Chains A and B, each alone.
Chain A
Amino acid sequence: EPEVTQTPSHQVTQMGQEVILRCVPISNHLYFYWYRQILGQKVEFLVSFYNNEISEKSEIFDDQFSVERPDGSNFTLKIRSTKLEDSAMYFCASTLEDRGRSPLHFGNGTRLTVT
């Protein structure tokens, strides 16, 4: 069964550094998402992406965050200047459609630790 892949599985960075989290969504999916989960807590929506542009973003997704789909397969999340509170698990997800019974297919996540 096709799956969403995320790299790296764990990223440690120093405060103020830039990080790029990478995702390869399922190939025929059209909608892409980033979610964040601070340890053991709620899964929070960050951003949705369709047709090469952001379709929606949350209040968390401020100017420090950006997303890109540079080559038609990869989908990246960049955090420009990391803060301690950015430490979390970041999940990439994709879906065939943004309505109906098509569920989100999640990657295994990237655990980001900011020191």
Chain B
Amino acid sequence: AQKITQTQPGMFVQEKEAVTLDCTYDTSDPSYGLFWYKQPSSGEMIFLIYQGSYDQQNATEGRYSLNFQKARKSANLVISASQLGDSAMYFCAMRGRDGGFKTIFGAGTRLFVKA
């Protein structure tokens, strides 16, 4: 069965610095997708970035990049040049045949950006 683990309940980062949010996963399926979502205090879920298990390069979307280490089964989110508006909850998520193609979520990491 699929499993997503986020071990950092909370993280602090200084404005303009980079921060890495950890995510490890487990699956027996060789084909899967990994996603990161942002949930601001207003509550909506915002898709940030996707990494496919067969993608050769790490995904990037603007200030977001995904440090994908397949052998370690990790998919850490890197946010560069943090902004105050980045303060939010961040969820790592996974989808694959092993999980019946539903998307499952980790417990989340709350990021606080300090001015």
Contacts and interface: CB of A to CB of B under 8 A. Distances in A.
A45 B2 CA distance: 13
A42 B106 contact: yes
Interface centre among B44, B52, B96, B101 (most CB of A within 10 A): B101
A108 B102 contact: no
Contacts of A42: 105-108
Nearest to B97: A99
A104 B38 CA distance: 12
A48 B47 CA distance: 19
A109 B89 CA distance: 16
Contacts of B100: 48, 55-56
Interface of A, secondary structure class, is strand
19 contacts: A33-B102, A43-B45, A43-B93, A44-B105, A45-B102, A45-B104, A48-B100, A48-B102, A98-B102, A99-B96, A99-B101, A101-B52, A103-B35, A104-B35, A104-B47, A104-B93, A108-B44, A109-B45, A111-B43
A99 B104 contact: no
Interface residues of A, number: 24
A90 B44 CA distance: 11
Contacts of A89: 43
A49 B101 CA distance: 12
A43 B89 CA distance: 11
Given A106-B45, A108-B43, A109-B43, A100 B106 contact: no
Interface residues of B, number: 26
A45 B52 contact: no
A104 B44 contact: no
Nearest to A42: B107
Interface centre among A33, A44, A100 (most CB of B within 10 A): A100
Contacts of A33: 102-103
B40 to A, nearest CB: 11
A86 B29 CA distance: 33
Contact of B103 (A45, A100, A101, A109): A45
Contacts of A93: 45
Contacts of A91: 45
